[in-house]
Amino acid sequence: MSERTSGRIRGALWAGFVLVGIAALVVAFSAGYMGSAGAEGGSADSRWLSMPASEAEFATLDGGTASLVDHRGQVVILNLWGTWCPPCRREIPELVELQAELEEQSATVVSIAVDSGAEESIRSFASEFGINYPIWVSGTDEVVRHFRAIGFPFTLLIDRDGVIRKQYLGPQTQETLLADADVWIGDGSPTETPKYREASEVGS
């Protein structure tokens, strides 16, 4: 298969993910999954979710395995991306800058490279882009099942107890992610604890 044909196929796959993501996002908002409805009879802070994150294990680039359980006690920005995804590529410099800020605190970026080829190719890509945070490896089916990813890049803000507090579809800036992470860094909870919208467990 020629490089041009391969590029067209990756482009078509990415376009498909975008369309599926948009449709899923509409459904999610309609169902209240990403909405701001609070506990019955009370108001809510629309920024925050309260969903246990998956404890599934993923392959690492050094041949081992890792999971979010390994990062309990840290605030985690979990980024699902692919080397084949143009918006993901544009977002990487923001995440590199973010990691430089977070690694001095009790927080970190963790990424999962989705359907991105051999580990050697991912390592080469990471070196080219100066990625300074952990990279795990997965297929699309796994991240959809464990994190309900509805497009890429797809990012989750996870608190120190392994609870998902926010999710983001599409490329984000360092400023946006750091501002949200800062709420959960420190004593590990907002200064004024809001009422959280409860949702069913994500993943298994």
Q: Which residue has the tokens 């376009």?
A: 15
We find that the CATH architecture of domain 3-198 is 3-Layer(aba) Sandwich (3.40)
Cβ atoms of residues 189 and 196 within 8 Å: no
pLDDT band at 187 (very low <50, low <70, confident <90, very high): low
Q: What is the pLDDT of residue 8?
A: 52
Could you tell me which residues are beta bridge partners of residue 79?
A: 111, 155
Residues contacting residue 74 through CB under 8 Å, at least 6 positions apart? 106, 107, 108, 160
Cβ atoms of residues 59 and 169 within 8 Å: no
> 40 versus 196: which is more confidently predicted?
196
> 204 versus 81: which is more confidently predicted?
81
C-alpha 122/C-alpha 116 separation (Å) is 7
C-alpha 32/C-alpha 39 separation (Å) is 12
pLDDT digits (tens, 9 = 90+) for 90-135: 999 999 999 999 999 999 999 999 999 999 999 999 999 999 999 9
Cβ neighbourhood burial of 181 (10 Å; 0-12, 13-18, 19+) = buried
Q: Domain extents for the chain?
A: 3-198
Cβ neighbourhood burial of 43 (10 Å; 0-12, 13-18, 19+) = exposed
> 64 versus 6: which is more confidently predicted?
64
pTM (two decimals): 0.75
